[in-house]
Amino acid sequence: MSRGGVHNALPRGTLSAALARAVGDSVGQDGLERYGETLSPIIDLWQQPDWAYLRGEILAGFDRSQAAVAGEFGAVALVNPTGSGKIYIVDQIAAWVSVQAFFAVDLALEGVIAATLGVVSLGVSLDTRWRDRVTGAERTTGLVYAGSDAVGIAGQVERFTTPAGGGNYGRASTSLPMVLQPGWGVAVVGGTANALIEVSMRYRERNAFPGELE
């Protein structure tokens, strides 16, 4: 016997499916009943990090270094590639250098970053459910660039410094969170020439909703 529509259903696409899975509801997956009619629950679909998977959102990050190059400033970038159909939300940025130094956070088009730096790897899924269960291959689309340049990359939105004495990570704050549409990236550029740098980023990746990229 076929089942009709759920009374008082509240269809909300991926969020409806996420809530249904979160509460173990095998009946309301095509729409949410008004649970308050019987339970009055408080369910925050963003509270639990493991529920990001239920929303179809990849928790991702990376840590990459760039070797010192004489007369040039090292840089590491994350790019949301053109045509990905994804939205990236960058939540954390940290950078390290052996001496106290400034770093610039630059927003730039993919072409600008690609003309200065080179692709070295993909981001890393922090929830292993997004990796291939046999090979461990990534399912993220985030491109990680690294390289150096005598000028740097335009589009600075923040400048932060590492602690006095060096050898510790400095952290970006005023430019975050940051939202990247396809074809855009964020680069962290060292402010001291001829210095090895190391950059860490934490971001989230999800499919864009209808109309979100118009």
Q: Where in the chain is the domain with CATH 2.60.120?
A: 58-207
Burial string for 173-184 (b: 16+ CB within 10 Å, else e) reads eebbebebebeb
* Segment 107-143, tens digit of pLDDT: 999 999 999 999 989 999 999 999 998 898 888 999 9
* Cα 87 to Cα 184: distance, rounded to the nearest angstrom: 10
DSSP tag of 172: -
Pick the CATH number of 58-207 from 3.40.50, 1.10.10, 2.60.120, 2.70.98: 2.60.120
CB 75 within 8 A of CB 148: yes
191-214 pLDDT per residue, tens: 999 999 999 999 999 999 999 998
Which pLDDT band, with edges at 50, 70 and 90, does 89 fall under?
Answer: very high
Compute and round to an integer the Cα radius of gyration of the chain.
21
Q: At CA 212, angle to CA 57 and CA 115, rounded to 5?
A: 80
Q: What is the pLDDT of residues 156-173, one digit of tens each?
A: 999 999 998 878 899 999
